[in-house]
Structure 1
């Protein structure tokens, strides 16, 4: 590594035309620059520069070495520019992972960022499984709920709730539950493999009264969007994320069931593999996703 530094100093001397000019360019003393070049000559037993009191000239060996050194310095400067660009400007491929239900929100949120930065590309991986950030080379992942212990860096973006919902047609045929105790008599649509499925349905009313129910699903799926579609089709009652339920409730396709009873809020997190030296594409994407999600109906700060 010291030899590479000496080669860069030698290239600066040739480019600047003198030891003193190279010293000013590099922020070194003239004697330090001279020592670097002399050490390089002594190490390899070749003369690179012919020195006189008035000027420096390249030897034949020095001319050949300088041509290679100039390419090395140019490559290093290009690398430095690329590092600055990566730090300051969203460029390159952004690899983002999110649960399937969040995919449409990610695409919408990131559209202005992609439009503003043509050098930025996106690879969006949507999967309800816990993708390993390192193995999949993920820059940024969106996760919901309690996070397992890991060395990933997590930043909370917002919170959302799950809501009991059913289609108006289903409620017209089967009756609308008035108390939590009536829920076991209804068709239950459940997302398998979730904490709610494992622990049971935990409901709380504003006066502090709580209920915990273990419901047997008529339909179970690992895909929340599929369950929402079947709920909208009138096949039963389901837990729908507040941001997903809002549009169907507003359009009359779904109705909230037992609205006076609430489920615990779930935090939405942005995960990155590292805390320090995050490139601009990750910082910008995390910021726009946070702003977008917090502005959605059904989320909480």
Structure 2
């Protein structure tokens, strides 16, 4: 069948070019090879399609009718190739992205300039902290934080997300402000967990550069970053949160950063795509936009957090204590 389709394309090219020689040049082959393809096509069809002479060719009545279908087939193939080139070279079509709830606020601003600049492109953001069937949802690109699950998809690291330790002023007024590793073990903890497995030890690096492993049992947990932040703001305990996510809450005094000078491990940010040799332009451009958005966020927020957190927890707790009758 494929050989016959190829021979039909040769016939359409011969008629389009007006001669076997010109068709051979267009197809980057020899005149003899073109002639052999035409003879094979006539043998398959059981009818003469072309009258040939040394100077010109002409279609038989059967050839005139048959070549219309061949030309339509060739035109459809060229249009399909053109559309594929557009998808490869210029962002267009719907881009379907999967991301956790906590990262949605960053993905929108990161991709808005790309979508705005390309009118033929649209965006669908599938936000879910749980397991998402990427194939069933027809996802082009998935954003993931931290340790990646086993998958046949291709992962690329595009940046990192810093995390800090936060608590509500009311909680600190009630339980005290932690200043050491020993203090942390006596506090209530809130954890982000997607399963019921045992919590893993948390590596913390102190001001002296020494790393210690902290083992805690969460008082409460959630698989949703926003819910975890709400539990923390409600005064239920300490939580590891991203500075990008708590800027507003910290600015309004609902959350306070703890342990200035201590550092927690950053969360790597990956984008995952189906295993393909070549990605369409919409995916390639989206990956670069996300890389730009996440590559600089870790360092900037880490520096700002360290500069502004010293003493803020203690002073805020004093203010809360003074307001309690």
TM-score with structure 1 setting the length:
0.90
- Deviation of the 1:137 alpha carbon: 2.5
Q: Tell me how far 1:247 sits from its aligned partner.
A: 4.4
* C-alpha displacement of 1:259: 2.3
**Distance across 2 between alignment mates of 1:16 and 1:183:** 81
Give 1:65 shift. Answer: 0.6
Tell me which residue corresponds to 1:255. 256
- Alpha-carbon contact 2:168-2:234 (below 8 Å) kept: yes
Q: Hey, what does 2:301 align to over in structure 1?
A: 298
Paired residues for 1:277-292 under 5 Å: 277-292=278-293
Bigger mean CA offset, 56-65 vs 125-134: 125-134
Q: Distance in 2 between matches of 1:219 and 1:273?
A: 35
Deviating runs (4+, > 6 A) in structure 1?
194-197
Partner of 1:124: 125
| SS of aligned partner of 1:220 | strand
Equivalent pairs, count? 300
Structure with bigger strand share is 1
Q: What's the CA shift for 1:233? A: 3.8
Moved more, 199-208 or 58-67: 199-208
Alpha-carbon deviations, 1:196-247, whole Å to 9, x = none? Answer: 9611333221424343333333332211111112323433321102332344
Q: What is the CA–CA distance in structure 2 between the aligned matches of 1:256 and 1:194, rounded to whole Å?
A: 27
CA RMSD after TM alignment = 2.3
Identify if the C-alpha distance between structure 1 residues 299 and 38 changes in structure 2 by more than 3 Å, giving closer, same or farther.
farther
Structure 1: where are the runs of 5+ without partners? none
Q: Which residue number in structure 2 is paired with residue 19 of structure 1?
A: 20
1:127 positional shift? 1.5
Report the secondary structure of 1:136's partner residue. coil
- Could you list the per-position Cα deviations for residues 22-69 of structure 1 after superposition, in whole angstroms to 9, with x for gaps in the alignment? 222222222221221122112222111122333222111101111111
CA drift at 1:189 = 2.1
Q: Secondary structure at the match of 1:95?
A: strand
Query: Are the equivalent residues in 1 in contact too, given 2:130–2:194 (CA < 8 A)?
Result: no
Q: Where does structure 2 lack aligned partners over 5 or more consecutive residues?
A: 304-325
- The answer to whether the 8 Å contact 1:206/1:260 transfers is yes
In structure 2, relative to structure 1, the CA distance for the partners of 1:193 and 1:200 (3 Å cut) is farther
Provide the C-alpha distance between the structure 1 equivalents of 2:189 and 2:30, rounded to a whole number of angstroms: 79
User: Secondary structure in 1 aligned to 2:162?
Assistant: strand
1:242 is aligned to 243
Contact 1:140/1:271, CA 8 A, preserved across alignment: yes
